[in-house]
Structure 1
Amino acid sequence: MQHDEFIGRVQDRARLAGRGEAERATRATLQTLAERLPSGLAHNLAGQLPIEIRDHLESAVASDEPTEAERLEPREFFERVAERAGTDRAKGSRLAHAVCAVTSQAVNRPLREKTHDVLPENLRDLFPVEAG
């Protein structure tokens, strides 16, 4: 999937008015997601995304040293996405779901499954295994 297609899908899925808002949502969500994933998995996920989007994941795990994922409850996760995107928590939740669904579509099934399985059970719906 190319960058323009990725951002367009986020814009459509999240019902956003413009591409700039979709870019902010993507950056906010992927940075927050990367903090929830072991660094090696975040790097692998980034490797299957368009280069312009890859940096959002990799900037959150700048070290090459493996790190443990930070555990947050869904409310905290969505609040962090919202804060980074400059919106409220309800919209942050919608943005996070849209970006994660598109990300899930953009990566291969084994990586999609691994990412889903690593997330805490209460956040797994963010990264659907059956992406279409």
Structure 2
Amino acid sequence: MHYLTFVGRVARLTGTAEDRAATLTRATLETLAERLTGGEVLDLAAQLPKPLWGLLSPHPRTEAAERFGAAEFVARVARRADCDENTARTAVGAVFATLREAISSGEFQDVVVQLPRDYRDMVEPALAPAATRRR
């Protein structure tokens, strides 16, 4: 999937302009990179458009993921994107749905398995049959 397609999909799902969707995408992917192990971050980045690679940089000194729940994930996205938490939650769901379309199903499962159960409300819509990939 191309970068503009990725951001355009997030824009449609969030009902925002593409420049705002790019900010929400950046905030979500940067936060996701903190929550995943370094190796998984690299695997995910390899399947995304090049403009998104830099957002998914593992911390150079650690392979370990930070441990924080879904509420903290949303709060971090909200701070990064300078928005309220409802907007951030919608954006996170949109980015996960777009990731589901943009990357292989195996890679998507590798990402999801690293997230605790309290992320389910944000991730499950991306797993629904209606969110099938269009590669």
Scaled by the length of structure 2, the TM-score of the pair is: 0.87
After TM superposition, give the deviation of residue 101 of structure 1 in Å: 1.3
Contact 2:8 2:18 in 1 (8 A): yes
The 3-state SS of whatever aligns with 1:56 is coil
The 3-state SS of whatever aligns with 2:48 is coil
Residue 98 of structure 1: aligned partner: 94
Matches within 5 A, 1:31-70: 31-58=30-57, 61-63=58-60, 67-70=63-66
Could you tell me which runs of 5 or more consecutive residues in structure 1 were left unpaired when the two chains were aligned: none
Residue 19 of structure 2: aligned partner: 20
- Residues 49-58 or 26-35, more deviating: 49-58
After TM superposition, give the deviation of residue 76 of structure 1 in Å: 1.1
Distance 1:86 1:52 in 2: 21
Contact 1:109 1:129 in 2 (8 A): no
The number of equivalent residue pairs is 128
The alignment yields a C-alpha RMSD, in angstroms, of: 1.5
Residue 82 of structure 1: aligned partner: 78
Distance 2:53 2:119 in 1: 21
Distance 2:109 2:121 in 1: 12
Scaled by the length of structure 1, the TM-score of the pair is: 0.89
Contact 1:117 1:124 in 2 (8 A): no
Whether 2:124 is the aligned partner of 1:120: answer no
Moved over 3 A (4+): 124-131
Tell me the percent identity.
34
Distance 1:37 1:76 in 2: 14
Q: Deviations over 1:23-65 (max 9, x none)?
A: 100100000011110010011000000001121112xx142x5
After TM superposition, give the deviation of residue 124 of structure 1 in Å: 3.9
Could you tell me which runs of 5 or more consecutive residues in structure 2 were left unpaired when the two chains were aligned: none
Q: Deviations over 1:82-117 (max 9, x none)?
A: 000010111111111111210121000111111111
